[in-house]
């Protein structure tokens, strides 16, 4: 398995990780036997970087990952996240980064995961009511106590990253990044490189849209999160499907799938980038992993830039109500 380092002084992990959210949350019904087989297959193939969060499935995802690695802890580098809050109905309701909450959230995650130490602990979203310095100071205390090894941030801006890095080295920043979400190229990706921070793209396949397998909304179950995302709605869907058809044509020329081409593009953006495509099926895991073997030349990268320039995606990433909570 190829490896990459998370940041200038951070850990080495598999060059591609596994996003575990979909096992418990967002993308239709659970199939725990297949998900367990997928996670074990990932570890067997050398994918050791597992990404979860306390909010995924309201704790179920951490519990599942914990059970899955119980007899193979030494082969797994576990990243989890804190900070997003849900109400009694399971709806996202806010963000919290107070020192007291950081500690309680960490201890709860450790219990669910069945671990003594979390390898990488991210703040899931920025709490704008709590200075980032206070949140990071609380995380530093957890590092000193051996409860976490490395500190990460998710979906923050460049200024926040710089302020946080003054308090303590940040191992990684996680943000959505793909051929249809290239926003990080403007500020946060350069800031990561300036500070020696690793960059971890989530949804590198555009929540499955870049695979070319979503041809209509009827392909998705009614409870699927994507039924509510603007990029999957009405005219936005049709506009996005039109340019993804060009991605499919380039993939055919390359002799690979659109998913593999999209992942190869993300991987080609720098050795400091470790994408975490999510899947709960072994078939897609194998397909994704094969992207590590694809080498893109300058002309192929230029062709992808023409097909998917920054800002190509029609529609916002999230509904406005959710943006009001998490932005």
Q: Which residues are catalytic?
A: 56
Residue-wise burial string across 247-280, b where 16 or more C-beta atoms lie within 10 A, e elsewhere: bbebbeebebbbbbbbbbbbbbbeebbbbbbbbb
Residue-wise burial string across 1-21, b where 16 or more C-beta atoms lie within 10 A, e elsewhere: eeebbbbeebbebbbbbbbbb
Q: Angle, nearest 10°, between helix axes 60-68 and 32-44? A: 50
- 105's tokens: 């959230």
Strands 3-5 and 12-14: antiparallel
The span from the CA of 37 to the CA of 93, in Å, is 33
- 66's tokens: 């914990």
Only one residue has tokens 């959505």, namely: 176
Ramachandran assignment for 231, one of left (phi > 0), alpha (psi -120 to 50 degrees), beta (any other): alpha
**CB atoms inside a 10 Å sphere around CB 215:** 10
């Amino acid at each position: 398995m190829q490896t990459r380092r998370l940041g200038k002084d951070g850990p080495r992990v598999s060059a591609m990780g596994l996003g575990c959210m979909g096992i418990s949350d967002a993308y239709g019904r659970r199939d725990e036997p297949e998900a367990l087989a997928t996670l074990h297959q990932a570890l067997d193939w050398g994918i050791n970087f597992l990404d979860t969060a306390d909010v995924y499935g309201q704790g179920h995802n951490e519990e599942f990952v914990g059970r899955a690695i119980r007899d193979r802890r030494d082969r797994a580098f576990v990243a989890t996240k804190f900070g997003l809050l849900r109400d009694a109905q399971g709806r996202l309701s806010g963000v919290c980064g107070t020192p007291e909450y950081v500690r309680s959230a960490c201890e709860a995650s450790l219990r669910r995961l069945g671990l003594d130490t979390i390898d990488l602990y991210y703040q899931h979203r920025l709490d704008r009511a709590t200075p980032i310095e206070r949140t990071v100071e609380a995380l530093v205390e957890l590092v000193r106590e051996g409860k976490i090894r490395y500190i990460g941030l998710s979906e923050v801006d460049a200024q926040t990253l710089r302020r946080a890095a003054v308090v303590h080295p940040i191992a990684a920043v996680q943000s959505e990044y793909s051929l249809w979400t290239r926003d990080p190229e403007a500020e946060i990706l350069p800031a990561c490189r300036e500070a020696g921070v690793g960059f971890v793209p989530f949804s590198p396949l555009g929540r499955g849209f870049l695979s070319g397998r979503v041809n209509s909304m009827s392909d998705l179950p009614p409870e699927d999160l994507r039924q509510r995302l603007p990029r999957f709605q009405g005219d936005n869907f049709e506009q996005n499907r039109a340019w993804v058809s060009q991605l499919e044509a380039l993939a055919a020329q390359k002799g690979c799938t659109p998913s593999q081409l999209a992942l190869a593009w993300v991987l080609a953006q720098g050795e400091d980038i470790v994408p975490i495509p999510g899947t709960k099926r072994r078939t897609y895991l194998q397909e994704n992993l094969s992207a590590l073997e694809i080498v893109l030349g300058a002309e192929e990268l230029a062709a992808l830039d023409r097909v998917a320039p920054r800002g190509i995606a029609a529609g916002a990433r999230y509904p406005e109500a959710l943006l009001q909570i998490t932005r």
